[in-house]
Structure 1
């Protein structure tokens, strides 16, 4: 089994455990969901995010899947599905302002649902080049954790806000005092997608000194 398929299978297992005894069905291309499937999962896209280096070089991908609930227990199922995704911080829900044109309508067809990002890292071998005859100067980019606080115009912390650095595929939620910790690149100037009570904005902040403060105005 490939790494992308294994990541999807892991998500399907979590969803199935969350809604038991309801059935979860992964809908392949051209294969409709059976009538008794209360939850349907569809693969929407697999996108390249970039490269990183942890235990060797990695190709960072983002698998986007749609999760749809239907039937008389639709609202209860949605509650259970959203909770299990929130409990596993590697996943992030696509917020209302992040959909591609027509993406939601094409992915959620019969009931209620939402889209989830699944980060996937593929190890690969970098090609070796010819012998270097002159000194080679190289720089590497290392991911780091940025901690900070999201505040309003009165310097009051904003809780339950979704924050994602553009250099990362994973979103986090600010705590009761507005504090957060997010994975990002080593760049000093960071760009963030911040969503507060359904409103999303693109914001930038310098991370030359931590903790960083992001001001929602």
Structure 2
């Protein structure tokens, strides 16, 4: 009888222990799925999705360079947005053994004699580093053409080098109308992506040009 009573006590203790574990497990599930649902949902999405802000064009200023009745001449843009590209790398996705070679080749495309500043970006523990700005379409295509073949050969993820497009203000007549048109800053509002006009028509017509 003593042995049976002792066994029963052990069984009761084991049952209570298992019941306690189940309660803790249920509470943990409740915490994760109900209380912290938003946190874990955002974390899961961040692993599979990337938010890229799509930039927009600022308005164009047109004029007629000659006076004609009815303005029959084709409109001449005095200021417009030109599509450019910023070059980014994902240092975490580029193997350490390949970083110097990739950096050297990119510097050749960018005509950069000093590789050190750009190579420092390759050494950062980051998923995204901007290493060049305002590249034109030809430069972008040259780099991508080389990179796709290189990444495939070295078995590196293709999006370890990528581009983000942005529009840059262009003035076809240069400084000729500079005092009238003025310009905008290259740095834009990080939230609205609106340009900061400095003066002239860019500033006075900003409410129309910013869209």
User: TM-score, normalised to structure 2's length?
Assistant: 0.26
- In the superposition, the TM-score normalised over structure 1's length comes to 0.25
More contact order relative to length (CA 8 Å, sep ≥ 6): 2
More strand by share: 1
